[in-house]
Amino acid sequence: MLGNRLKNEIADLILSGRMKPGERLDEQSLASRFGVSRTPVREALQQLGNAGLVEIRPRRSARVRALSMSELESSFEAMGEIEAICARYSAERMTQAERISLKLLIDQSRVASEQGDRVTSRDLDARIHALLHTGAHNEALCSVANEMRMRVELYSSAPYTLPNFDTQLHVPHGQHEQIVDAVLERNPEAAQRLMIEHIGQSFVIVRGILEETKDALAAIGDEEPAGQHPYGDLARLLGDTGARARSGRAGQAGAGRLNPPRSAPDSSGQRGA
């Protein structure tokens, strides 16, 4: 259906970072972009609003939603419980073909992790979780899981996408590998427990990023445009959430860390080596 296709295409613009938290979503501009009328665009935005990815504002343009820290924490908590049920059911219900596909994905993830390939690792992360959603063989549960993952995707993918973050790819891969092993061994209790732990640890990493960027975001201020600041990409991704992050530091062994930029951009706009 047209509304579904538009919803996915607009969601892709947001989740890929081409539209940032807080950015206006003008119906007419989107209609022109996709060659449709405003009605299906309005319906698609409403669906994204229901999923928590877009903020619908009366008599004003919708905008990409920036989650507060408390909203982000509650969203991760809910997603952990939902995806844990998906993992449990997948261990019990996955077909042999789905199990073979899952094994292939985790093998590809191992290679990407060893090669330090963040782009491929992010894609495989999403595909592994998506297969665990469908492998649960419960349409209602799969739909809720997909919507919850969409809600936090901008933030959960930050360790893979932020240019100044030293991502330790073996950490998420190792967690995925344990979950996949439990599913393939048909151990629903272990699969459920490991998924809850994985999502919880993912939130700790994201919270740590937000807290570590608090000072960097404050430093941007009015003195330097965010687009010219070494942390500008990160600031645009995290929006207001980083500025509202709680003080203190969250530690997680192997989670990665933000590296301070080694030099300011030169006159050509390129960052120093």
- Same domain assignment for residues 10 and 76: no
Q: What total of structural domains would you count in the chain?
A: 2
- Same domain assignment for residues 8 and 83: no
Residue 240 lies inside a defined structural domain of this protein: no
Sign of the dihedral through C-alpha 122, 123, 126, 127: negative
Q: CA-to-CA distance for 90 and 117, rounded, in angstroms?
A: 28
What is the per-residue pLDDT for 2?
Answer: 65
pLDDT in tens, 142-190: 999 998 888 888 778 777 877 666 778 999 999 999 999 999 999 999 9
Q: Which of 2-16, 178-192, 212-226, 256-270 has the highest mean pLDDT?
A: 178-192
In degrees and rounded to multiples of 5, residue 58 shows phi and psi of: -60, 130
Q: CA-to-CA distance for 152 and 150, rounded, in angstroms?
A: 6
Q: According to DSSP H, which parts of the chain are helical?
A: 2-15, 27-34, 38-50, 69-93, 96-115, 118-135, 139-156, 158-161, 170-184, 188-212, 214-220, 232-243
What is the per-residue pLDDT for 218?
Answer: 53
Residue 104 lies inside a defined structural domain of this protein: yes
pLDDT in tens, 39-80: 999 999 988 888 778 889 888 889 988 777 888 899 999 999
Give the confidence band of 127 by pLDDT, cuts at 50, 70, 90. very high
- Same domain assignment for residues 59 and 78: no
CATH of the domain at 42: 1.10.10.10
Q: Look at the block and give the residue holding tokens 């990815």.
A: 53
What is the per-residue pLDDT for 249?
Answer: 37
- Same domain assignment for residues 131 and 177: yes
